Amino acid sequence: MNTDIPFTKRALEQLEKPLKRYKIYDIGHKSSVKGLFVEVLVSGKKTFRFRRKHLGRAVVVSLGNFPTITIENARKLALKHAATMSQGLNPNEEKRDKIQQAEIERALAMSMAQLFEIYVSEFELKIKTGERREKSLKDAQALWRKHLAPRVAKLLIEEITPVDANNLLKKILSQNSVAIRNKCLSLMKSMFSEQEKNPFAKIKKLADTKRERILNQLEVRNLLDALKYEPQIYQDVVMLLLLTGQRKSCVFTMEWKEIDHQRGIWLIPTSKMKVKKPHAVPLTVEVMDILKRRSQEAKQGEQYVFPAPRTQTGHITEKSGKGSFWWRITERAGLRSDEKGESVTIHDLRRTIASWSVMRGGNIQTTSKLLGHSDISITASTYAHLDVEQVRTELGITTAQLLGTDIQESKVDKLVKEIEQLSGEERSELLRILRINYRA
């Protein structure tokens, strides 16, 4: 076999797969470079190499495989290495130095897993100073463990580009809700906040359709009926969730020291509130009756209103599986669906009492105070569209003045009209109350 040929694409493509490796040198072409050759391996792989004397010793430099590297580029690389060796330098030694330096830099570089560990450590310090809540850290850890760690934990922070960051969030969104995607974005931005480059910095949150599920009167009745079959502790905790409108994390962790029995107030401490300030919740007679009974039945020195001694937390928690109390209750009440987002959640109870309060004519400011929102605009963005009764009343007054009928209509006439709008059951209840309060 001729071992010296002018290199052309066709000539190299036609080189046969050998039983033993051999070399073909680039000779005879106008652009041929002395010392450039192709080594053909028994596997059929064809590798460009360049051979030249350096300080009296033969040095062979690997350039890459054909056809990944073209003949033209191989010749350029060979000439570059020839120039390097003419200056007394060995390209292989330079390459080894670069590889070693890269390995050192990689060893010193921080992985995403290490970055998250630092984030957690700093978060724990903020919890001790009261800047952050312990629940927020647990939420972040769950988010990392479920959605981020499997994808990025082993990557180095320097390896993540803005394009990679965007693609990561697209993958998360393809398998989860917009809310999860936005939470992952917030977490990653926080993790990179003190790094020189933040690949997530310019990515924005996506608009998320707010959940508006509230229970109607029939659904509330079904829920209350379903509660009757549960142990008393679950009946009580669901009633407090429904009647106080507070977040489940606060209700589940309610402590006896937070309850002012004399004034009927539940003072939720700063450590449990998103707004980072204490929140006073007025307790109705129905709620106080539940708490009085639980207080009488509580063990000496009991910390939590809803204790669960076998759990790590010491209080009851919500589990998502079929064995959970909420699953049983909603299944029994017909409030569970196979369709995504249709099953009633515990948070829907909070939304229900707030919505009912607004729809019956209550104002947004009062509802905002009940929910413990940091800004009334948060309440307004969710519940303002329900504030129709006050609008209806104002419109009725304006209409009456416009048409000149407001003077002619007496209070009794107005009351009669309002009663006519009541359902049969509501009229019966009104009649019962009148009989009790205004007996002759």
pLDDT in tens, 34-81: 889 999 998 889 999 998 887 768 888 888 899 998 999 999 988 888
pLDDT band of residue 282 (cuts 50, 70, 90) is: confident
Top pLDDT among 364 and 151 is at 151
Please tell me the distance from the alpha carbon of residue 47 to that of residue 327, in angstroms, as a whole number.
Answer: 64
pLDDT band of residue 97 (cuts 50, 70, 90) is: low
Residue 157 predicted with pLDDT over 60: yes
Q: What's the pLDDT at 363?
A: 57
Which residues, at least 6 apart from 398, have a Cβ–Cβ distance to it below 8 Å?
none
Q: What's the pLDDT at 440?
A: 47
Top pLDDT among 29 and 103 is at 29
Give pTM, 2 decimals.
0.50
Q: 24 and 3 in contact (C-beta within 8 Å)?
A: yes
pLDDT band of residue 254 (cuts 50, 70, 90) is: very high
Q: Once rounded to an integer, what is the mean pLDDT over residues 241-269?
A: 89
Please tell me the distance from the alpha carbon of residue 349 to that of residue 319, in angstroms, as a whole number.
Answer: 17
- Give CATH for domain 217-386: 1.10.443.10
pLDDT band of residue 424 (cuts 50, 70, 90) is: confident
Residue 234 predicted with pLDDT over 60: yes
* pLDDT tens digits along 343-379: 888 888 888 877 776 566 555 565 566 666 655 454 4
Residue 264 predicted with pLDDT over 50: yes
Return mean pLDDT, the chain. 81
| Distance from the first to the final alpha carbon of the chain | 126
Q: Once rounded to an integer, what is the mean pLDDT over residues 271-287?
A: 82
What secondary structure does DSSP assign to 4-42, as a single string?
EE---HHHHHTPPPPSS-EEEEE-SSTT--TTEEEEEPT
Q: Once rounded to an integer, what is the mean pLDDT over residues 163-190?
A: 92
Domain with CATH 1.10.443.10 in the chain: 217-386
Q: What's the pLDDT at 144?
A: 95
Q: Name the token pair of 173.
A: 């969104």
* pLDDT tens digits along 302-320: 999 999 888 888 898 877 6
Q: What's the pLDDT at 128?
A: 84
Q: What's the pLDDT at 83?
A: 84
Residue 414 predicted with pLDDT over 80: no
Q: 26 and 75 in contact (C-beta within 8 Å)?
A: yes
Domain with CATH 3.30.160.390 in the chain: 4-107
Top pLDDT among 320 and 105 is at 320
Q: What's the pLDDT at 231?
A: 93
Q: What's the pLDDT at 181?
A: 92
* pLDDT tens digits along 178-226: 889 999 999 999 999 888 889 999 999 987 656 677 788 898 899 999 9
Residue 269 predicted with pLDDT over 50: yes
DSSP assignment letter at 211:
P
Q: What's the pLDDT at 237?
A: 92
Pick the closest to residue 315 from 336, 294, 341 (CA basis).
294
Which of 213-222, 269-278, 401-410 is modeled with the greatest confidence? 213-222
Q: What's the pLDDT at 277?
A: 77
Q: Which CATH architecture has domain 4-107?
A: 2-Layer Sandwich (3.30)
pLDDT band of residue 380 (cuts 50, 70, 90) is: very low
CA distances to 24, 155, 219, 240 from 352, in Å = 81, 44, 11, 13
Please tell me the distance from the alpha carbon of residue 358 to that of residue 376, in angstroms, as a whole number.
Answer: 14
Pick the closest to residue 387 from 367, 361, 366 (CA basis).
361
Q: Once rounded to an integer, what is the mean pLDDT over residues 381-394?
A: 51
Q: What's the pLDDT at 384?
A: 47
Q: What's the pLDDT at 359?
A: 61
Q: What's the pLDDT at 59?
A: 84
pLDDT band of residue 421 (cuts 50, 70, 90) is: confident
Q: 60 and 39 in contact (C-beta within 8 Å)?
A: no
Pick the closest to residue 82 from 57, 61, 56 (CA basis).
61
CA distances to 256, 308, 348 from 252, in Å = 12, 10, 16
Q: What's the pLDDT at 376?
A: 47
